[in-house]
Structure 1
Amino acid sequence: MGSGQVTDWQGKHVTVAGLGVSGIPAAKVLHARGAVVTVVNDGDDARAREQAAELEALGITVRLGDGATLPAGTELIVTTPGWKPDKPLFTAAREAGLEIWGDVELAWRLRGPDAAPWLAVTGTNGKTTTVQMLASILRAAGLKTAAVGNIGVSLLDVVLGDEQYDVLAVELSSYQLHWAPSLRAHSAAVLNLAPDHLDWHGSMEAYAADKGRIYEGNRVACVYNAADKATEDLVREADVEEGCRAVGFTLSAPGPSQLGVVDGILVDRAFVENRQQNAQELAEVSDVNPPAPHNIANALAAAALARAFGVPAAAVRDGLRNFTPDAHRIAHVADVAGVAYIDDSKATNTHAAQASLAAYESIVWIAGGLAKGATFDELVAKSAKRLRGVVLIGKDRALIREALVRHAPEVPVVDLDRTDTGAMLAAVQEAQRLAAAGDTVLLAPACASMDMFANYNKRGDAFAAAVRGLGA
C-alpha cells in the first residue's frame, strides 16, 4: 500500500483488532469509506456485546471471543495500540505478508493533501504536559492548533473533522509508534527513556527502538534530552530529511544547538542567527507551572518544537504563562500545620516518581500499587537523603520496602497491609504523624493504581479528599 495517503477503500477487506477507544472509530471510518470491515475481539462480555451490536447495525462484522484467527480474505489489519506485537493474529498476518497499522498510522494515511504538519512528542514521562505546553505556546503565536493523540483526543476525529488547523501537537505512546511505520513528523521530541511497558515490548531495546521511530523522516528538528544519552543515540540512528537538525534541551547553560537555563531564564541557542555567539531569552523559570526541574525540562522541549515551527520568543513566554497543568501532576492540595501535601498520582512508574521526589527537600513519601515489573533500588538510592518517612500501600509495596531496607535503612516506614480504597485515608493520617513543619507529604506512588483504584485520577482524588479531612 505504499506510505502515502490512501484514497480508495472501496471493497478492501480490513480486519480491525480490538473494540477499544480507537478500534470502534477506526471500524466506522473504514466502513464509511466502503471497506469490508471485520472486527475481532478477545473479550466477549456484556460491554463488548453492546459495542458489537452498535457496529453490526451499521453492517460491520464483529467476531467476539476470537482475536487470534485471521479472517479469510483480510488485506490489511488495523489494530488498537494495546494489542501486543506477539499476538497470534499478527504472526498470521505477517506470514501472509499483510501490513499492520495502528490508529495513528490510519490517521496519517487518511489525512488530506493540505493537512496540518505534526509536532510530535514521546517519552516515558512528561508527554501529556509537554504536548499541552506546546499547544499553549502555538496558540499564543496565533496558530490554530489542538493537543491530540495519546492525550485522549482522537487523531482520526481531528484529521477527518471539518476544522482546519495550522499545526497539530501530537502525543504518541510507544505502542502507537510501533504500529505507525510511515508517520513523518515536521519535528519531534523524545523527552526521556526509562524502563516501562517492557512486558509489551519484550525488551528495553525494542521499547527504545519504538520510541525512536518518532524521529524518522523529521524535516526540521529532532529534539533530544541532553541529560539522557539514550535519546541522543536515537537521533543519531534516525533517517531524517536533508537539513534536519539535532536540538538538545538541558537544565544547564545551553551549548550551540541547545535550549537551556541561565540564571533563571530559559534561553535558546538553536533557533537564532549565529548560534555560536548568540542566545535568545524565551521565558523565566517562574513562568513554568510548577517550576519543578522535570517540568522545566518539559517546557524546554515544548519550546524547542515551537521554535522549530518558527514561533517567536514572546509566544513561548506567553504560552507557558497561560498553561495550567492537569490534575494529579504535582498538584498542591493544601498546607496543614506547616506541612505541604502534594498529589502526583500521575507518577505511575519509577522514573516519574524520581522526578517528583527530586523537587522537594524533606519528604514523607506515600508509595505503592502495581509495579508492572519495575524495580525500585535506583529510585530509593537516589532519593534516600530526602526521605523523612515512607508510607506504603498497594499490592507490590513489599518491593519498595525491600529497596528501602537496602538503601535507606534509617528511614521510618509504615507498611499498610491494605489494598482497599479506604487505605488512602489511613496512609495520609500516618504521613501526617511522620511529618514535621517544613516537610512535604508527597503521593508519588511509582506504581500503577489498578490494584486499588479505577485509575490514577481516582487515587489522586482519594488522597486529596483525605488531606482535606485533616484540615477539617
Structure 2
Amino acid sequence: MGSGQVTDWQGKHVTVAGLGVSGVPAAKVLHGLGARVTVVNDGDDARAREQAAALEALGVTVRLGDGATLPEGTELVVTAPGWQPDKPLFLAAERAGVPVWGDVELAWRLRGTVPGKPVAPWLCVTGTNGKTTTTQMLASILRAAGLRTAAVGNIGVSLLDAVLGEEPYDVLAVELSSYQLHWAPSLRAHSAAVLNLAPDHLDWHGSMEAYARDKGRVYEGNQVACVYNVADKATEDLVREADVEEGCRAIGFTLGTPGPSQLGVVEGILVDRAFVENRRESAQELAEVSDVNPPAPHNIANALAAAALARAFGVPPQAVRDGLRAFTPDAHRIAHVADVDGVAYVDDSKATNTHAAEASLAAYGSIVWIAGGLAKGATFDELVARSAGRLRGVVLMGADRALIREALARHAPEVPVVDLDRTDTGAMLQAVQEAARLAQPGDTVLLAPACASMDMFANYNKRGDAFAEAVRELGAGA
C-alpha cells in the first residue's frame, strides 16, 4: 500500500473507520472492488444500525459501538475525515505499520481505474474561510470556458462519485478541509490555493502549527501554480516550504495593485499579471469588481483566487468574467434578505468563526451586529478591536455571548449592547426587533455570529432561516 496506484484489491482486508457521508460510500466502493471490508463505528444509534444493516446485506462486516480496536489482519484503514488523529484505532494502526487514508486519498488512488474514463486533473482549494465560495466560483469559471467540471470534495458531488462515476470530467474543482488533507498523503494537485489561515479546529489538530502543516499539504507536488494570499504571509510561507514539481510557480492574489506573478485589483478591474506574456510590463483585464457577487472585499479575494487557479489551467480571460457573472453564492453567505425602513438586513450565518465574521463586518460602513453562539474556544478581542469603528450597536445571543460582551466592554465601551438572556430559537425574532430599534436609515443589520450555531439551532442554515423569517415578520409589520 505504498504511494502508487493499487490495482488489485481482491481479498485485501480494509477497515473503514466511521459510517456517515464518507464512510458508507467508501465501504461500498471497496467491497465492489473485491476487498474484505470491516466498518468500525463509535456510535450504535438507530441511524447507525440502519446503515449497518444495508452494508451487511452486501456482505460488509460492521462493528458498532467499537471504533477503538483495530480488526485482526487489517492491511489498510480508510477513515472518515472528522476522526481525530490521536484515536486509539490510528495509534494501533501506526504501531502495526498499517497505512491510514481518508476518502480523498482513496479517491486519488482510484483515478484512472474506470476503463475509457479520462483522468481529470484536480484544482484544489483550502483555507480557514471562503473555501466553498471559491471552489464554486472556480467551477463556474471552468464551465464558462466550456470545460466539463464539478465542484467536489468537501461540497457537492462526492470525490469517489466524481472519480468512479460514468460522467467524464476535464478538470475537477476540489474543496479540501484540513481534516481531509491530513489523511491525504499522496495527493498531488495540478494547482492549489490556500486562501487564508486563522486559528480553527485547534481541538482536532492540537496546535496552530499542526493545522497550518495540514493545510500546506495541498501544495505538495503541485505541477503549475501554488496560489497564496499576499495579505496573509502564513500562506506564502507554506508555499516556500512545499516540495513542488520543477517549473511550478508561486502566484499571489491581492486586493491591491498586483506585482509580477500576481492577480489583483486596479481601478475596479480584476487584473492578471501572472499568466501573461510580459508580466513585468503588462496586465490582462479579467473582470470588473461589479461582476463579483457580492462585491465585498473578502469575496473579491475569493474571486481572484478562483481566477488564478482557472488561469493556471489555461482558461481564457473572458471565461473568468462570464463565470463570475454566472456565479450565485449559497444561502447564508452575505445574503441580502430585505430592506426595511431604509435599513438593509444581511444574513451571514455561515460566519461561524471570528475570521469569517471580521471579513463580513469589513464589508459595511455602519452596522448593527447580531452575534453569539458556541465560541469553540475562540477569543473576540481582536475581532472587536478591528471592527469597533463600524458598530452602531450590537445584539448578543447564545451560550457564549458573555465572551463577546466582555470584548466589547474592553474595546468598544461606547457601543450600545443588547444582551438577550435566552437560548430558545424564538430569541432570533427578538434579536432582529432589538437590532431594528438600534438601527438608523442607511445602516446594515448584519447576522455574522462569529460562533457555531448548535447551542440553539440544528446548523447555521437553520439559524440563517430564522433570521430571514424574523426580518420578513418585521417587514410585514412595518
TM-score range relative to shorter protein:
over 0.9
Letter of the 1:299 counterpart:
A
Q: Which moved more, 1:120-129 or 1:412-421?
A: 412-421
Question: 1:143, 1:34 → 2: CA distance?
Answer: 34
Aligned pairs for 1:6-21 within 5 A: 6-21=6-21
Question: 2:111, 2:316 → 1: CA distance?
Answer: 28
Show the counterpart of 2:412.
408
Show the counterpart of 2:436.
432
Question: 1:350, 1:153 → 2: CA distance?
Answer: 29
Letter of the 1:275 counterpart:
R
Show the counterpart of 1:259.
263
Equivalent of 1:181, from 175, 182, 185? 185
Q: Is the counterpart of residue 378 in structure 1 residue 393 in structure 2?
A: no
Question: 2:20, 2:422 → 1: CA distance?
Answer: 31
| Superposed CA RMSD | 0.6
Show the counterpart of 2:238.
234
Q: Is the counterpart of residue 22 in structure 1 residue 26 in structure 2?
A: no
Q: Is the counterpart of residue 421 in structure 1 residue 425 in structure 2?
A: yes
Aligned pairs for 1:104-119 within 5 A: 104-112=104-112, 114-119=118-123
Show the counterpart of 2:57.
57
Q: Is the counterpart of residue 443 in structure 1 residue 447 in structure 2?
A: yes
Question: 1:24, 1:315 → 2: CA distance?
Answer: 37
Show the counterpart of 1:38.
38
Gap regions ≥5 residues in structure 2: none
Q: Is the counterpart of residue 196 in structure 1 residue 200 in structure 2?
A: yes
The one-character-per-residue Cα deviations of 1:131-174 (angstroms, maximum 9, x if unpaired) are 01000000111111000000142100110000111000000000
Show the counterpart of 1:80.
80
Q: Is the counterpart of residue 3 in structure 1 residue 7 in structure 2?
A: no
The one-character-per-residue Cα deviations of 1:416-455 (angstroms, maximum 9, x if unpaired) are 1111111101100110011111110000000111111111
Aligned pairs for 1:139-178 within 5 A: 139-178=143-182
Letter of the 1:381 counterpart:
A
Structure 2 residue matching 1:241: 3-state secondary structure: coil
Q: Is the counterpart of residue 248 in structure 1 residue 252 in structure 2?
A: yes
Letter of the 1:446 counterpart:
A
The one-character-per-residue Cα deviations of 1:7-49 (angstroms, maximum 9, x if unpaired) are 1100000000000200000000000111000000000111111
The one-character-per-residue Cα deviations of 1:381-405 (angstroms, maximum 9, x if unpaired) are 0000100110011111111111111
Show the counterpart of 2:282.
278
Question: 1:152, 1:320 → 2: CA distance?
Answer: 18
Letter of the 2:37 counterpart:
V
Aligned pairs for 1:263-412 within 5 A: 263-412=267-416
Question: 2:447, 2:261 → 1: CA distance?
Answer: 37
Letter of the 1:20 counterpart:
G
Question: 1:276, 1:90 → 2: CA distance?
Answer: 50
Structure 2 residue matching 1:379: 3-state secondary structure: helix
Question: 1:415, 1:152 → 2: CA distance?
Answer: 38
The one-character-per-residue Cα deviations of 1:276-307 (angstroms, maximum 9, x if unpaired) are 01100000000000000000000000000000
**How far does residue 248 in structure 1 lie from its aligned partner after superposition?**
0.0
Structure 1 residue matching 2:20: 3-state secondary structure: coil
Structure 1 residue matching 2:216: 3-state secondary structure: helix
Letter of the 1:171 counterpart:
E
**How far does residue 6 in structure 1 lie from its aligned partner after superposition?**
1.4
Question: 1:318, 1:189 → 2: CA distance?
Answer: 21
**How far does residue 2 in structure 1 lie from its aligned partner after superposition?**
1.9
Letter of the 1:168 counterpart:
L
**How far does residue 4 in structure 1 lie from its aligned partner after superposition?**
2.3
Show the counterpart of 1:47.
47
Letter of the 1:193 counterpart:
L
Compute the TM-score of the two structures, normalised by the length of structure 1: 0.99
**How far does residue 3 in structure 1 lie from its aligned partner after superposition?**
1.5
Structure 2 residue matching 1:21: 3-state secondary structure: helix
**How far does residue 111 in structure 1 lie from its aligned partner after superposition?**
1.0
Question: 1:6, 1:324 → 2: CA distance?
Answer: 39
Structure 2 residue matching 1:365: 3-state secondary structure: strand
Letter of the 1:427 counterpart:
A
Question: 2:139, 2:329 → 1: CA distance?
Answer: 12
Runs of 4+ with deviation above 6 angstroms: none
Show the counterpart of 1:70.
70
Structure 2 residue matching 1:57: 3-state secondary structure: helix
Structure 1 residue matching 2:306: 3-state secondary structure: helix
Gap regions ≥5 residues in structure 1: none
Question: 1:101, 1:73 → 2: CA distance?
Answer: 17
Compute the TM-score of the two structures, normalised by the length of structure 2: 0.98
Letter of the 1:45 counterpart:
D
Question: 1:70, 1:225 → 2: CA distance?
Answer: 41
Aligned pair count?
A: 472
Question: 2:441, 2:347 → 1: CA distance?
Answer: 18
Question: 1:453, 1:58 → 2: CA distance?
Answer: 36
Question: 2:140, 2:24 → 1: CA distance?
Answer: 30
Question: 1:5, 1:330 → 2: CA distance?
Answer: 42
Question: 2:53, 2:409 → 1: CA distance?
Answer: 54
Structure 1 residue matching 2:40: 3-state secondary structure: strand
Structure 2 residue matching 1:82: 3-state secondary structure: coil
Question: 2:392, 2:4 → 1: CA distance?
Answer: 56
Question: 1:313, 1:152 → 2: CA distance?
Answer: 26
Question: 1:151, 1:34 → 2: CA distance?
Answer: 28
Show the counterpart of 1:100.
100
Structure 1 residue matching 2:393: 3-state secondary structure: strand
Question: 2:12, 2:422 → 1: CA distance?
Answer: 53
